[in-house]
């Protein structure tokens, strides 16, 4: 039943072109989110993310402003840190 609800939420958001994540009971449901939103939802500063991921603060700022600059290694580190899939993030 939950999968059906999740699919309906995803379809609704996709049809309405919503570009934010929807989190219900801790489950991430197929909508895309920006890197800055991920950081802000955790209530962290760029420096805190930098210390935990090993990515320089200048790079993190650049990635938040232009996610297409993120390489696969940095993207993987960020996804493990934020506990999301690569497909959950807006990369363009």
Domain range spanning residue 19? 1-31
The structure tokens listed for 67 are 């996610």
**Shared domain check, 41 and 11:** no
32-87 pLDDT, tens digit per residue, is: 889 999 999 999 999 999 999 999 999 999 999 999 999 999 999 999 999 998 88
63-75 pLDDT, tens digit per residue, is: 999 999 999 999 9
**Shared domain check, 40 and 12:** no
**Shared domain check, 46 and 10:** no
**Shared domain check, 52 and 22:** no
- Using a cut of 0.75, tell me whether the model's pTM lies above it: no
**Shared domain check, 45 and 90:** yes
Q: What was the pLDDT predicted at 91?
A: 86
**Shared domain check, 41 and 25:** no
**Shared domain check, 69 and 26:** no
User: How many residues in total does the chain contain?
Assistant: 92
- Pairing verdict, β 27-29 and 22-24: antiparallel
Question: Is the confidence at residue 24, as pLDDT, over 60?
Answer: no
| Strand segments (E) across the chain | 22-24, 27-29
**Shared domain check, 91 and 70:** yes
**Shared domain check, 41 and 15:** no
Domain count, the chain: 2
Give the whole-angstrom CA distance, residue 10 versus residue 77: 26
**Shared domain check, 24 and 58:** no
Q: What is the CB neighbour count within 10 angstroms for residue 63? A: 22
């Amino acid at each position: 039943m939950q999968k059906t609800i999740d699919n309906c939420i995803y379809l609704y958001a996709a049809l309405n072109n919503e570009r934010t994540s929807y989190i219900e009971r801790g489950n991430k449901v197929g909508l895309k989110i920006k890197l800055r939103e991920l950081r802000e939802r955790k209530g962290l500063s760029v420096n805190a993310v930098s210390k935990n991921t090993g990515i320089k603060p200048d790079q993190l700022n650049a990635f938040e402003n232009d996610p297409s600059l993120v390489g696969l290694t940095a993207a993987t580190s960020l996804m493990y840190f934020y506990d999301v899939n690569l497909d959950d993030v807006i990369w363009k």
